[in-house]
Amino acid sequence: MDDASPKSSSPRRSTHRPRDEESGAAAGEEIDCDDTFVIPPKNAPVERLRRWRQAALVLNASRRFRYTLDLKKEEEKEEVRRKIRAHAQVIRAALLFKEAGEREKPGIPGVLEHEELTKMTRDRDFFALQRHGGVNGIASLLKTDLDKGISGDEAEIVHRRNSFGSNTYPEKKGRSFLVFLWEAWQDLTLIILMIAAAVSLALGIKTEGIDQGWYDGGSIFFAVFIVIVVTAFSDYRQSLQFQNLNEEKRNIHLEVIRGGRRIKVSIFDLVVGDVVPLKIGDLVPADGIVITAHSLAMDESSMTGESKVVHKDQKAPFLMAGCKVADGYGNMLVTAVGMNTEWGILMASISEDNGEETPLQVRLNGLATFIGIVGLTVAGIVLVVLFVRYFTGNTKDPDGTVQFVKGQTSTKAAVNGAIKLFTVAVTIVVVAVPEGLPLAVTLTLAYSMRKMMTDKALVRRLSACETMGSATTICSDKTGTLTLNEMTIVEAYIGKKKIDPPDNAELVSASVLSRLIDGISQNTRGSVFHPKDGVIELSGSPTEKAILSWGVKLGMNFDDARSKSSIIHVFPFNSEKKRAGVAIQLSDSEVHVHWKGAAEVMVASCISWLDTDGKQQPMAPDKINEFYKCIEDMAAVSLRCMAFAYRPLDLKEIPNEEHRGDWSLPEDHLILLAIVGMKDPCRSGVREAVALCTRAGVKVRMVTGDNLRTAKAIALECGILKDVDAPEPILIEGKTFRTKSNAEQDEISEKITVMGRSSPNDKLLLVQALRRRGHVVAVTGDGTNDAPALHEADIGLAMGIQGTEVAKESSDIIILDDDFASVVKVVRWGRSVYANIQKFIQFQLTVNVAALVINVVAAFSSGEVPLNTVQLLWVNLIMDTLGALALATEPPTDHLMDRTPVGRREPLITNIMWRNLMVQAFYQITVLLVLNFAGKSILHLKHETREHADKAKNTFIFNTFVLCQIFNEFNARKVDELNVFSGVLKNHLFIGIVGLTTILQVMIVEFLGQFTKTVRLNWKLWLVSIAIAIISWPLAVLGKLIPVPSTPFAEYFSRCSFWRKKQDDGAAQESSNAPS
């Protein structure tokens, strides 16, 4: 923001951003260890977190550290996890002992108690499972059809929930409003004020009687009470917002099979007896037993603490809730839910917290500490000056009477006078120490996170909101993010012949069609449901649904096709090899291995091909080129190309069941069946979103597993790529990039715009290279293998619809609609968070500087301060809680996208902010000090009694000061724009707070004079107050025309100190070298 042109309402646009090594610190790099109040945006070491806490000046720890990570609680959580993991290990040890010495015990057939089922699953009791007839027997007892699942009607769901429990766990209740009240009043300064008020109240009542003596102490009590209530309400409101967001994060939606169809339900609606399909990247939602498993492997580290992958099949059938599918796919039968699972016990024990400090929060704690030290110093000086003047007889009452005369003034009166002076000093500390400054971040983050939900973005980590405002590049997937992920097969080649239309089965021989349908029906994780009346329902990934739809149109009966063969072994889709395979047994001795995958990869593995008549033809070089030409033609019109192939095997070549788990399906010597091209249209609005990113200085790069030609066509359509003839490395394949050295990768990474045929590891390498070049990198991903890149990136963006649970857990933000336009909205919100904090800082520091200077100058010159304790508490309320509510909840504007990304180490207070702040503070200080010293004559109060004239003058100063802050609140809305009223009517909260503040100010001055030591002002003085305050608007416009240097002021000071240190070192060196 510093480099904005001061003579324009909008800063200059630039797509080039200076390299920021610190903001792009790669994994393993430290970011400025010398600065205590700087932490990494992700995975900050515990020592760094402890260090800034110890360095912070804090007067109310419960409030200041409320939304930071509770390090002690984190240790307790880890201890709970260890205990539960130990419990799991004990169970397993007991089970091994049992297997060694126990014989199978006869059970009562047909009876299965709830406790017995839970115990069997939790103890992994294989003998009990066998006793009940294995998974088929358990399913029969639970009245579950293993193919079609439970019926799914409401009555059955309720019955199962009542019988076996719900898939929920008791959550710790959020803190009540009373708890927030309790925490708010623990502020050390407020406690001191209350003690002082209590003493003042007692002395006042004793000396002046209860009718008049309670006003001084009582008014302070009341003001402190208002501050506490408003603060507690603001904090309670934020807490509720975080609770709602946590609910959203926990509410995972998953597929279940009910009534023969796959439907999506909330994890909380899962019941015992449900059949759940599992695939790589899924989270196991409850305890259960394997029904079918194809290369199914689980990552149980979340429960056992062991990182090794455990394979699951009929011999090892028990699945634990909370574990993740590391490989393969299969179906499970749910046998225990909620608190009947170890995962439920664990989640109930540790319960999710909101604690997580963000880099901006920590930096604001540093700023608050610095301002607090200044405030304490000033308050201490003021107190000393006031005490010296008071006890030396230089402080007088409004009527001219000396307040303290040695030997004459009573002890009570002296103590009462000293307490009044002490409360003024303490109140200066209240105003000067901005305890609410770090909480302003939490407020704007809570507001932003809630609003981002409506923009289809669920924030998992608070720091991601801030970091997104600094993003300099976005590495985006193609499928589903830039495109609609609604695939349709629009071109098909069987043999050398183009099938037009692609579903015209009459052009294909029965033998080829039969082989193709075998591959389509068995080599898939999807399914086809035929309702009795209605349209056929397809399930699976968009690619699988497109293939299944094509198969159905070719005449495939899904269930019938699957029943004609049995699956022997499965090779799940692998993003490295770009293919998926299955071995199926057709007859007693006939076995076919079917493959599908990236077209050019599959063609390269084929030694022959079937023509439309079913005759096998050799794959001669000219034929390979013909097939490649078909692929290139389809890719050039942005079609996604896939091929189908198979290989016949003899049953003797298949390993027996014991060794089949390690068997690798043969990938070569294949026979090509078909090549298809799938159309996946670009999303509407994606071109505009990419253009907006470019304008904002954020480079969009496409990283996709698709063919480079397909990627290029889509990139041109989306506006990511401008040049049709773009050379390498602007267009590059993943395998080319991965073969280069680190230095070469770093050099070309910034030039890369489209990376095709990339593996997840290629994406990770690109992210690392870009970060080493100083970029702040955002990455989108949806697959399990994307997890390392999502974790490595500064901001990981997982897809909410197609994303696996593993990808989502590794991400910082979940894009709920998988749309790139939503990613751009996240960028806007990220910049808005930073901009809103800067608005609040500018507003608060203006009040701080003005209030401190006015009180200090007045104290030194006259021994009195124009703003008393109650008035200062009201000012504190305006600038702290109410100011934060008004300014930290400004919605993002398009103007934010006219700026370059925010450097992560950019100063919080920019040169533009310093200019705005000093202009307003100088104006307020000048006007109010003139009023303080010459107010009686200016306001024509000389003919009044001295007491009334002083009260009227001080009331006018107080009123003008508050109105200046109200008008300056508008100026703070637009730090670098001339029109501060743009969009103001759309922010109802801002208008409401400004209106409320104004009404309360009128009430305080006109009706609460006894409490605030004010007198009523006539309409002329009100008009003068408003006129003085309203000048701040044109003054702000003039101030913004003053040019400021682009180099931050802090750098000038650091350079001066560095130069002075260098001179001192040089002088010391010379003196040490001088002859003695």
Active site residues: 477
Phi, psi of 429 (to 5 degrees): -65, -45
Give CA–CA dist 280/951, Å, rounded.
75
Give CA–CA dist 757/733, Å, rounded.
6
Contact between residue 190 and residue 231 where contact means Cβ atoms under 8 Å apart: no
Q: Which residues of 915-953 are buried (b: 16+ CB within 10 A; e: fewer)?
A: bbbebbbbbbbebbbebbeebbeebebeebeeeebbbbb
Q: What is the DSSP string of 51-87?
A: HHHHHS--S-HHHHTTTS--HHHHHHHHHHHHHHHHH
Number of C-beta neighbours around residue 12 at 10 A: 11
> In whole angstroms, how far apart are CA 369 and each of 280, 433, 873?
48, 8, 20
Q: What is the DSSP string of 961-975?
A: HHHHHHHHHHHHH-S
Give CA–CA dist 105/641, Å, rounded.
57
What proportions of the chain, in percent to the nearest 5, are helix, strand and coil?
Answer: 55, 15, 30
Tell me the residue length of the chain: 1076
CA atoms within 13 A on the CB side of 988: 0
Contact between residue 377 and residue 422 where contact means Cβ atoms under 8 Å apart: no
Phi-psi region at 20: left, alpha or beta (left = phi > 0; alpha = psi -120 to 50): beta
Contact between residue 243 and residue 172 where contact means Cβ atoms under 8 Å apart: no
> In whole angstroms, how far apart are CA 686 and each of 264, 481, 783?
28, 9, 22
Give CA–CA dist 108/110, Å, rounded.
6
Tokens at 453, concatenated: 């939900």
Q: What residues does 815 pair with on adjacent strands?
A: 457, 799
* Residue 156 per-residue DSSP state: H
Contact between residue 742 and residue 805 where contact means Cβ atoms under 8 Å apart: no
Contact between residue 805 and residue 324 where contact means Cβ atoms under 8 Å apart: yes
| 498: nearest Cα among 645, 671, 680, 629 | 629
Contact between residue 63 and residue 336 where contact means Cβ atoms under 8 Å apart: no
| 379: nearest Cα among 423, 339, 418, 342 | 423
> In whole angstroms, how far apart are CA 34 and each of 30, 51, 344, 420?
10, 11, 43, 42
Angle between helices 71-101 and 342-350 (to 10 degrees): 160
Rg (CA), the chain: 36
| Helices of type H across 939-1041 | 946-973, 988-1007, 1009-1012, 1019-1030, 1032-1039
Number of C-beta neighbours around residue 411 at 10 A: 7
> In whole angstroms, how far apart are CA 1023 and each of 922, 1008, 1026?
22, 20, 5
| Helices of type H across 605-740 | 621-636, 657-660, 686-695, 708-718, 734-738
Give CA–CA dist 624/793, Å, rounded.
40
Contact between residue 904 and residue 470 where contact means Cβ atoms under 8 Å apart: yes
Q: What residues does 499 pair with on adjacent strands?
A: 492
